[in-house]
Amino acid sequence: MKRYSISRAVRGAGFASALFTLFFAPFATHAADTRPTFTPPSAASLPDTEFGKIVRQGEQIFLHTPQMAGKFVGNNLNCVSCHLDAGRRPDSAPMWAAYVLYPAYRAKNEHVNTLAERLQGCFRFSMNGKAPAADDPVLTALQSYMFWLASKAPTGVALQGQGYRKLPAPAQKADYVRGSEVYAQYCAVCHGAQGQGQKNGKHWVFPALWGADSFNWGAGMHQIGNAAGFIKANMPLGQGGMLSDQEAWDVAYFMNAHERPQDPRYTESVAATRAKYHDSDDSLYGIEVNGHLLGSDAPPPGGTLIQAKAKPAG
């Protein structure tokens, strides 16, 4: 992948041309986004009212999910692990852009979902836990936070930055070996050589990307396209857009070619579960990679919630 230095860019071209090369060229292959733009309110503008207290509680749940909603979380991820900048950042499935599109039909479960049901799915799959009741205070706080972030946004409209970036198909088929090289160069320093994440004492600084502490096989991030779009726009952290599209596809493939907790919808076999829920080129579940059938050695879903239940009393 071609790299640039400021001095070389400025010497070889006019200043305006150099600025384009440095800051806009990485995105030049993507079509212009004509969807409406929206900027959520700043954290400092959160109202000091009874409603504001619940909004702030939702924000804290979003930032510190295992600590604030531990009875529903089976791993060490926070909502903010995949929805960056407290759910504000475009192209990392921001909460303000999601709020205005629900209720909505979802092919994943083949019916119209309320926002509460969508959040229940996040706890079940991404957090490898269990779904809170629709009227649980945790969901009330999270929905209140999302509502506040979406203040004054148009409803029923897909906004610019909604979801994860949709990358064009890669020039070359995504590759495990190339992906492992990208991972070693750019990702392992934060997420660990084995994708195990990184702690500072008991506090998780960078999330696990595979293994027992990560999202399970039912989470949207296990889909290669979602992971590639998220990585392209946001990774390495603070340097989004640095990787080429091909590198993003390759490292997404590498990340999702590792075992993770089982899909909680698992039926009688990996093959049957793939046929029912993962029959797509976007999923590696039930596919053999490097001699291992993915999903065949997955830890059970539920993570720490299951471990706590199995722990003998006393």
Q: Is the pLDDT of residue 312 over 80?
A: no
Residue 205 belongs to what H/E stretch? strand 203-206
191 Cβ contact partners less than 8 Å away, ≥ 6 residues apart: 197, 198, 206, 207, 208, 209
Give 267-279 pLDDT, tens digit per residue: 999 999 999 999 9
Average pLDDT over every residue of 253-261: 98
Q: Is the pLDDT of residue 155 over 80?
A: yes
For the chain, helix, strand, coil in percent to 5 are 45, 5, 50
Query: Tokens in use for 20?
Result: 């384009």
pLDDT tens, position by position, 3-62: 433 333 333 334 343 333 333 444 444 568 899 999 999 999 999 999 999 999 999 999
Among 207, 209, 217, 291, smallest CA distance to 254 is for: 209
* pLDDT at residue 121 tops 80: yes
Whole-number Å distance between alpha carbons of 168 and 128: 30
Nearest to 265 by CA among 124, 112, 79, 116: 124
Nearest alpha-carbon partner for 277 in 201, 220, 226, 232: 220
pTM: 0.88
CA atoms within 13 A on the CB side of 135: 0
Say what the pLDDT of residue 12 is: 38
Mean pLDDT value of segment 110-133: 97
